[in-house]
Amino acid sequence: MADYEHGTMNVSEQSRTFGSFIGLSIWAGGLTILTVLLLTLIFAAHVGWMVAIIVTTIVGILMGLALGRSAGWYATVIGFAAISFFSAVIASLIGSLL
């Protein structure tokens, strides 16, 4: 058997992989929370879609500040808000035509 001493193994790769996994989990969890919040405000609380998008965006920015996220988080939250806004406008236009 090889001469092994506890605590001497290089674990830098495992540590970096675990850090990436935790970061991805925080992103996925945060985006899931924001999606559930948006849908809950619109369909369960009967808040207007514009107010729901604004509230969700503010909560997303506050989450980013609380969790110490990078600029990519804020770009994603604002990008999803823009996509939601334009999707809601198009849905409203189509609904008014029917």
Give tens-digit pLDDT for 47-86. Answer: 999 999 999 999 999 999 999 999 999 999 999 999 999 9
> Which pLDDT score, from 0 to 100, does residue 7 have?
79
> Which pLDDT score, from 0 to 100, does residue 1 have?
58
Residue 52 lies in a domain: yes
Residue 8 lies in a domain: no
Residue 2 lies in a domain: no
Q: Which amino acid is at 28?
A: A
Q: Supply 77's token pair.
A: 């939250």
Q: Which amino acid is at 73?
A: W
Number of compact structural domains in the chain: 1
Percent of the chain with pLDDT strictly greater than 90: 84
DSSP state of 44: I
Name, in order, each residue with C-beta under 8 angstroms of 9's C-beta and a sequence gap of 6 or more. none
Boundaries of domain holding 62: 13-97
Residue 77 lies in a domain: yes
Residue 84 lies in a domain: yes
Percent of the chain with pLDDT strictly greater than 70: 98
